Each structure stands twice: as structure tokens, then as C-alpha cells.
Amino acid sequence: MTAPVFSIQNMNFYYGAKPALMNISMDVLPNKVTALIGPSGCGKSTFLRCLNRMNDTIDGTRVEGKILLDGQDIYAPDMDVVDLRQRVGMVFQKPNPFPQSIYDNVAFGPRVLGMKTDKTSLEENIQRSLESAALWDDVKDKLHDDAMSLSLGQQQRLCIARVLAVQPEVILMDESTSALDPIATLRIEELIAELKEKYTIVIVTHNMQQAARVSDFTGLFWLGELVEFSDTNEMFTRPKQELTEAYITGRMG
């Protein structure tokens, strides 16, 4: 049995006294795409942000239970959060390139983290990251142009390259195609299929067809609970829970 990258065990999450996630248990396997589906406000994005402690920035939040990354409790007092966020990168819903050059966007993480940043190493990393994000051919002759001059789809691939430049283990994607047109969305979906050869990917999506197309495993969240979690093909063809079937067929949600 393959050891999970993430093992989530009886996790509860609170905003102040209000529970947002209740009794979540699931394993995220290496080099697979795990999709999280469910209606708006059901806890998908909150859960995703728990995986790299993004919620730490919100006052009054707390976590119970365990989230283990390669067997290590990421909420343990001795956990280095900067190291965690290098290992578990995040791509957000709207492309958020920094208002600087394409080159400096990709170089940002390695520079901040003190990775090898001599000119040759940095340029190799930038090229490799842009190639992995299927953007190198578009930008190789304009690396010093403003990142904001790129199309939205290119900006999102730049944000993916920026995550890849710090050599993560896991890539989290929070609705990362919802602001994009269908062609740009398809490019990102194709990219996800390529990236899982090297990385473990967890996506949040409102688009059930997208979950069916790109993921290996799917979890349905509903009112802060994980209703069902299974192999994607199985969930979409033979769901175990009535609620899952009702959601997938559009009768609820």
C-alpha cells in the first residue's frame, strides 16, 4: 500500500466558536489528483487552506485532530510554517502575479527562501519552472516584460510556475480555472495531467465535469462534512451515498 502524502485524521476546524469542518478523515496519495467538490460555503476552500496553514492568518481559528504530511503533524508546535508552505504550494482562484517582470515573479520564491540563486542556477530554475507550466515558449523572449501584460490564462500558468520554482511536493489549486475562458481552462487541465507525474495535486472545483476529467479521487463536502470520498470513476458511476448521487445528478446543490 502506497503511503499517503497527507493523512487527515478526525479533523475539526473552527472560526471562533463556529465549526466550519467536522470530523474530516481522508488520505491524499502521491502523484494523484484529488478533487474536492460541493456547493459554495461547504468548507472545500477552508479545508484546502488547512493543508498549508493558510488559515493561521485569520484570528480566532483553530484545528482539532491531525493533519500529517509524510507522517509529520503540520500543526505541531515545532512545525516550520515557511518550510511547510514551500513543500505545499497554493494556486489561487484569480491569477495573482506580482506587478513586476515575468522573470522576477518566478525568481521570487527561490530568492526569499535562500535557494541556490547564483545567476546560472536561478535561470535554469526559471526556465524549468516555466517549461513545466507550459509557458516557456510563450515568454522566453520577453522574460523582462511586465507579468500583467500576459493574458489571464498565461498569468495563471505563471502563478503555477512561481509555485514550481520552490520545488514543492504538493500543489493546492483553489478553483484555479474559474476565472478563465474554456481554452485557457483546457490548457490548465492538460497541465494538471502532466504535473501529477512529479507532484501530488489537490484541487477545489465547482465544475463536476472537470473533477471527472482530471482527478483520480474525489471528495464531496456538504455543510462542513466529508460526505463521501472515493475513486473518481466509482464516485461518478456508483456513488455510495444518496446525497452524493443527488448532488452529482443536479437534484441538490
Those residues with Cβ within 8 angstroms of residue 204's Cβ, 6 or more apart along the chain or in another chain: 35, 36, 44, 45, 48, 173, 174, 175
* Residue 138, pLDDT score: 96
Answer whether residue 121 is part of any domain.
no
The neighbouring-strand residues paired with 228 are 220
Answer whether residue 135 is part of any domain.
no
* Residue 244, pLDDT score: 95
Answer whether residue 128 is part of any domain.
no
- The residue type found at 15 is Y
Answer whether residue 118 is part of any domain.
no
Answer whether residue 107 is part of any domain.
no
93: containing domain? 6-98+168-248
* Residue 253, pLDDT score: 65
What are residue 154's phi and psi, to 5 degrees? Answer: -65, -40
Q: Tens of pLDDT along 125-142?
A: 999 999 999 999 999 999
- pTM score, two decimals? 0.95
* Residue 1, pLDDT score: 76
Burial class (CB in 10 A: 0-12, 13-18, 19+), 126: buried
- Residue 111 and residue 65: Cα distance in Å, rounded? 34
* Residue 250, pLDDT score: 86
Into how many domains does the chain fold?
1
Q: What is the DSSP string of 23-37?
A: EEEEEE-TT-EEEEE
| CATH number of the domain to which 41 belongs | 3.40.50.300
Give the residues of the chain that fall short of pLDDT 50.
none
Answer whether residue 190 is part of any domain.
yes
Those residues with Cβ within 8 angstroms of residue 66's Cβ, 6 or more apart along the chain or in another chain: 7, 8, 9, 10, 11, 73, 75
Answer whether residue 233 is part of any domain.
yes
**Cell 542556477 belongs to which residue?**
121
Answer whether residue 230 is part of any domain.
yes
Going by C-alpha positions, the residue among 214, 202, 211 that lies closest to residue 236 is: 211
